[in-house]
Structures are given as structure tokens and as C-alpha cells.
Chain A
Amino acid sequence: MAKKRFVVGCFDDEEVLFPAVKKVRTAGYKIKDVYTPFAVHGLDHALGMRETSLHTAGFIYGITGTITALGGISWILTYDWPLNIGGKPHFSLPAWIPIIFELTVLFAAVGMVLTFCYISQLAPFVKRHHFHPRATDDLFVMVIETTEKTNVEDLKAFLSNAGAVETDSHFVEEGWWIGRYDREEMPFENKQIVAA
């Protein structure tokens, strides 16, 4: 992990943000991310992100739950300890449907949430640099990665032209680290600039 320089443009209206994203991308700048206070539909496509495969993962977890329940119960009731319950067949599938269903849902939900937290790197005590405190309030914060060749002032002016109400540049750690929000801290302080 290392520190990098980023240029930040803040927008206060999603209807200004969309054309701005388009302009910035056509101009050849690399947008690291746009931080928004709520889910702005279509922004992921505007940024050229691919669709998430989280739902596919959810499907796989669900099937795992189905198989676990079906396999587990049939092994227990027909092989490991076949009990005679009112003379009914040992393999009584209809009676198992409720538990099979519940485990399918349980596995899918728990698996998906854990996967979501893992791939998004979200957990208690995870800390990252927030480019603007109002990104969770009312600003749409566009963060652009810079290279050695980038003229920061030009880029800021470009963003203002595109409708940004506020621009800034940050020299910060780009990943996440273990930390607390009541302390000002930034790890890897003394490393060289790796921005290539």
C-alpha cells in the first residue's frame, strides 16, 4: 500500500454529475471512484464498471444450503440412525421441505452478506480515507487518480467547468487499514510516492 495524489471534484446534483463523468472520461482521466450519499442508478454504467456477480454467488450459496439440508437429513434419517416414526417411510421428502427451504435461504443470505463485506472490504475497525465528509450527506464526490504528468491545477479547473462546486487535491493512502475513526491517523506515512 502506498500513498497517491488524487484530485477531488464535488458535485451537489446528480444531474450535473452524469455529464461531468462523461466529460472527465472522454478527456482521458482515470476516475478512481465516485462517492455518493445514496445509490445513484446508472452511475456504475457511466463509470464503465462491470455488473456485479454477487447474485451468482448467492445462488451458489443457496444451492449449497439445499444440498446440505437434503444430504444431511437423508443421511441421518435413512442411514445413520433410521428411526421408525409412526411407521412412515424413512425417506420422507415432503416432511423435509420446510427445513431444506430454510437452510437454502439461510446459506444464501449469510453467504452473500459475508461475501459482500469481504469483496467490498467492509468490517468493524476497517478505516479508509474519506475524501469529503459530506460524501455521506449531500455531495457526489468524484475522485480522479493522477500521474506524474497530470497538471493538478488544470484538472481542478476542468472539474469546476464541468460543474463541480468544490475541488481539492489529496495526497493519501488509497487502500484501507485497521483503525479507529476517533483518531486522526494515516499509515505508511514515510513511503515514497509510487504514483507512476
Chain B
Amino acid sequence: MHLKYESQLREPLVYGEKTYHNVTEDIVRPIEAKPSKLWYIGFYIAVSLLLFGVYSVYRDVTYGIGQWNLNKTIGWGWDITNFVWWVGIGHAGTLISAILLLFRQGWRTGVNRAAEAMTIFAVMCAGQFPVWHMGRVWMAFFVFPYANTRGPLWLNFNSPLLWDVFAISTYFTVSLLFWYSGLLPDLATVRDRAKTKLRKYFYGVASFGWSGSTKHWQRHESLSLVLAGLSTPLVLSVHTIVSFDFATSVVPGWHTTIFPPYFVAGAVFSGFAMVQSLMLIVRKVFGMQDYITIGHIEAMNKVIVTTGSIVGVAYLTELFMGWYSQNKYEGYTFWYSRANLFSPYGWSYWGMMACNVLSPQIFWFKKLRRNLYVTFFMSVIVNIGMWFERFVIIVTSLYRDYLPSSWSVYYSPTIWEIGFYLGTFGLFFTCFFLFSKYFPVIAIAEIKYVLKTTGENYKEKMVHLEAVDASVFGHSGHGHTIVDNESSN
């Protein structure tokens, strides 16, 4: 008797002769071993970047927003570009764990844990930008509706900026809960293997006393499924609402109804690119090639080429509408400020086009989809391209306002603006390095769940089972016999 069945045509998701115990051993090994030199080097670089970021933010708070090169015309520059960029990256994790769970995509099990962690860290980074952009950051709590002493003066609930507050904080909370509830069984696995006192203590506390009881698993399954169902519209809503920040304002280049779907596609696009970069590093550094297989990489590249092309269609639609609307301000923004290579910011538009629309098209070729070097290179290119996209949207729409007196010819960031951005890289990678050392980077329990249907050696055994099944249940009279494709052609 076998419990589940999976087609032989599908590639195995787990390579090698694995038992349940091997899975535990392989995934827990990095936690129990001393980190490698490479890990320390990466970690120290990340922490130094973080410290530089902290100093940049310190200057911003002490001397004010004047530390940045923003001006009255370009009020949103690098910081909001970076905010949107990080939020976009923060979309892949929940997309992988929620939407692919509902679509029953087995390959999500190899990458979902790390992708969810990445989501949480990316949203943490994203949150920094609007907060420190406030200037008087000690007033940041004003964004939440609370019983205040200024008469009951409330927030404007009709404002997309407030929707954003709710969207980002909800997204962060739900992603964190989803991630942590999935981690509980795996932390218990680490706890029960722990040899040192400290590890027993730490993982004992962190695993909440998880025992693996059938009743707990039953509830856990129900919880995961409902959280996935809730996260699916949530993940789509977050970048939709971020796009409302732009789309509801009457600024040429922003005031379009295409923004929500276009932003969501872009978010998935950049998020998967970041997952690709991280996964390629993780599988190399921790030797997870059996779990994050070339098939996983290819599946993600397919998502990248799909979403990249959706984004491309959106860019072309915008250009078309810039002409078709016969609105001279829209036309100017799209055809001069952006698409004209020789306008002050034309380079950023064409950089975006090259990175986001043209270069991902190489993934139509299977050979290139399955090439690790090409994939890694492309994942970096896509993230650069998506940064350009947000820069293009924000700066090219703003730098020539309606009044010639509000034309700001050139905007370039100060070192503290750049430092803040680098600092969020530091925050992101510091968190990710700590996560990869202290938490299982792959969902152990979920891999075990799919092991017997998708593991390489089990699939081989299943060929035999299939033959038995065919002889028992196959009724040759109805043409259900197994035919060899080669010979029948």
C-alpha cells in the first residue's frame, strides 16, 4: 500500500538515498556545527554595513532630513525608492508559502522556510524608510489611531498613506506568525537532538513544548491552511496598497489604474530574484543541493520570466497610454522624461528596460534556466532593474513639476542617503546570517511529508508499484494499458 501517488514525469524534489533521519541530519547540521570562515566573513561585513546605516540614521535624526539631498520638488527620492524596493522583495516568501501551498506546488517545501524568513527581514528593512523619513521620528506613533489628548483628533482613514501603515504592519505580523508557527515542529527537532545545555534551553523555550501529538498536527494543518488562505489576498493587497500611494495622487506618470497589478507582478518578480540569490548561496554554503535542486531553481526562473514579461507589458501599456490619452503632461513624462534616452533621467528608464524586460527573456531556454551561474547573475540583474523601476517612477515623475520654478534639474543622493540604504542591506544580511545559523533553513517536517512521494529513491520504487497497480487495476479492454511512447510513434 502506498499512501500518495506522484507522476513519474515529475522531477524528484529530494535527491539521494534519504531516510527521515537523513533529512533531519542534513538540515540540522549547520545549526550543530561551528559556522564556517565564510559565514563569519559574511556576517562581519553585514554587521559593518548595519553600523554604517545606524550612523547614517543617527545623523538624519540629529541634523534632520537636510542630511539627504531631497528638495521641494523631489520630496521622495532614494528613501521611498528603497522602501518600495524592499517591500517588493518581501512578497516572494508569502507568495511561495501561501499561494503555492494552495496551488499544491510540491517544490515550495524546499525553499519556503528561507523565503519566509527573507520576507520578514525585507519588510523590516522596508519599514525603516518611511519611519526615518518622518524626520521627527519620536512622533512616529502618530500614524496609529489611538486615544489622544488633542481633542479626539483622528487619522484620515481615506488616505492611502494610512492604508499603507495598516497593510505593512498587518503583512509583517501575519508573515511572522505564519513563519513561526511553521518553525515550531522543526525547532522541537533541534531541541530533541540537542547535546549542549544552552541549546536545550534555547530551543526548549523556542519550540513552545511541541511534542508532535497527532491532535496538534491536525490543528497545525488547519492553521497553516487558513493562514495560507488569508495570506494569499493579503500578499496581493500589500503591494496594491503601496501602488495606491502613487496611483491616487494627481501626478503624471503615477495617476494610472494599471498600477496595482503592475506593482504586484513587479514585486513577485523582484522577490523571486532575491530568493534565487539567497537560495543559490544557501545551497552552496550549507551543502543543500539535495533539497534545493536544479528543478527548484528552474521553477523559480519560470516565475521570473513570467512576471518579468508581465511587467514588460505594463511598461509598454504605460507608454501607449502616454500617447493615447493625448494628455500633454502624461505624454511629456512618458515620452520625454522616461523614454528619451537623452533626457536627464533617460538612462534609468533604459537601464530598467534592459534589466527587467529584455534580459529575463533568456529564461525561455531550458539550458539557461538550469544554469546556476546564469541564474545567479540574472537574479542580481533583476533586482538592480527593479530598483531602477522604482527610481524611474518616483524621480522622473517628480523632477519637472508643473511650474518651471519647481524644476529640479538633478537629484543625487548624499553619502548618508546611500549609507542608510547600505545599512538596510546590513540589517537584512545580519538577520539572514543569524537565521541560517540558528534556525533550520529548510522546513524539515514538510520535506519529510513529501519525501516518500517525491524523493529520488522512493520514486524509483514506485515504478515497481505502478506496474503492480496496473496489473491489478488495469483493464486492458479500455485502452488503459501503459504504452511506450517511443514504440507507439
Q: Which residues of B sit under 8 angstroms from A42, Cβ to Cβ?
A: 3
Instruction: Check: A27 CB closer than 8 A to any chain B CB.
Output: no
The 8 Å CB contact of A98, one of B178, B237, B446, is B237
A40 within 8 A of B: yes
Of A14, A51, A55, A72, the residue contacting B3 (CB under 8 A) is A14
Interface readout for B157-200 with A: 1 if CB under 8 Å, 0 if not? 11010110011001001100110010011001101111001101
Q: Does A4 contact B (CB under 8 A)?
A: no
CB-CB contacts below 8 Å: A121-165 with B: 121-128, 130, 133-138, 141
Name the B residues within 8 Å of A135 (CB-CB): 192, 211-212
A-contacting 9-mer, from B34-42, B220-228, B313-321, B419-427: B220-228
Q: Is the CB of A105 within 8 A of B170?
A: yes
Check if A15 is an interface residue, CB within 8 A of chain B: yes
Q: Of B157, B446, B449, which contacts A73 at CB under 8 A?
A: B157
Q: A47's closest neighbor in chain B, by CB?
A: B214
Specify which of B185, B204, B444 is in contact with A182 (CB 8 Å cutoff).
B204
Across chains A and B, the number of contacting residue pairs, with CB separation under 8 Å, is 210
| A36 and B217 form a contact (CB under 8 A) | yes
Chain B residues in 8 Å Cβ range of A127:
204, 209
Contact A52 B20 (CB under 8 A): no
What B residues does A52 contact at CB under 8 A? 215, 218-219, 222
Task: Return the CB mask of B240-276 against A: 1 if under 8 Å, else 0.
Answer: 0100100000000000000000000000000000000
Bound-complex Cα distance A49 to B215 (A): 8
Q: Which residues in A have their C-beta under 8 angstroms from that of B157?
A: 73, 76-77, 95-96, 99
Cβ–Cβ contact A137 & B233, under 8 A: no
Contacts of B20 in A (CB 8 A): 37, 137-138
| Interface hits, B34-66 → A, CB 8 Å | none
Q: Complex formed: what's the CA distance from A113 to B217 in Å? A: 14
The answer to whether A83 and B156 touch (CB under 8 A), given A41-B3, A43-B214, A128-B209, is: yes
Given A88-B158, A182-B198, A130 and B211 touching (CB < 8 A)? yes
**Roughly how many angstroms separate A108 CA and B198 CA in the complex, as a whole number?**
35
Shortest distance from the beta carbon of B346 to any chain A beta carbon, whole Å: 35
Contacts of A54 in B (CB 8 A): 219, 222-223, 226
Q: Is A112's CB within 8 Å of the partner chain B?
A: yes
Q: Does A186 contact B (CB under 8 A)?
A: no
Within 8 A of B (CB), among A47-74: 47, 49, 51-52, 54-55, 58, 62, 72-73
Residues of A within 8 A of B177 (CB): 109-110, 113
* Contact with A102, one of B151, B167, B444 (Cβ below 8 angstroms): B167
Interface bin, chain A: 35 or more
**Count, chain B residues at interface, CB 8 A:** 73
B449:A33 contact, CB within 8 angstroms: no
CB-defined interface of B445-456 with A at 8 Å, one 1/0 digit per residue? 110110000000
A120 at the interface (CB under 8 A from B): yes
B233 neighbours in A (Cβ, 8 Å): 101, 105
Give, as a whole number of angstroms, the nearest-CB distance from B151 to chain A.
8
Closest to B157 in A: A73
Q: Chain B residues near A24 (CB, 8 Å)?
A: none
Contact of B208 with A by CB under 8 A? yes
Check if B8 is an interface residue, CB within 8 A of chain A. no
B1-58 contacts to A (CB < 8 Å) = 1-3, 19-21, 24
Contact of B206 among A33, A37, A124 (CB under 8 A): A124
Task: Give every chain A residue within 8 A of B225 (Cβ-Cβ).
Answer: 55
Q: Mark A87-102, 1 if CB is under 8 A from B, else 0.
A: 0100010011011011
CB proximity of A21 to chain B, nearest CB, Å? 10
A35 at the interface (CB under 8 A from B): yes
Q: Identify the interface centre among A109, A133, A138: most chain B CB within 10 Å of its CB.
A: A109
**Is B145 in contact with chain A by the CB < 8 A criterion?**
yes
A–B complex contacts, Cβ < 8 Å, 6 sampled? A52-B219, A96-B157, A98-B167, A109-B174, A126-B208, A181-B203
Given A49-B218, A98-B163, A98-B166, 8 other A-B contacts at CB below 8 A? Answer: A34-B214, A35-B211, A37-B185, A77-B158, A110-B173, A112-B226, A113-B223, A135-B211
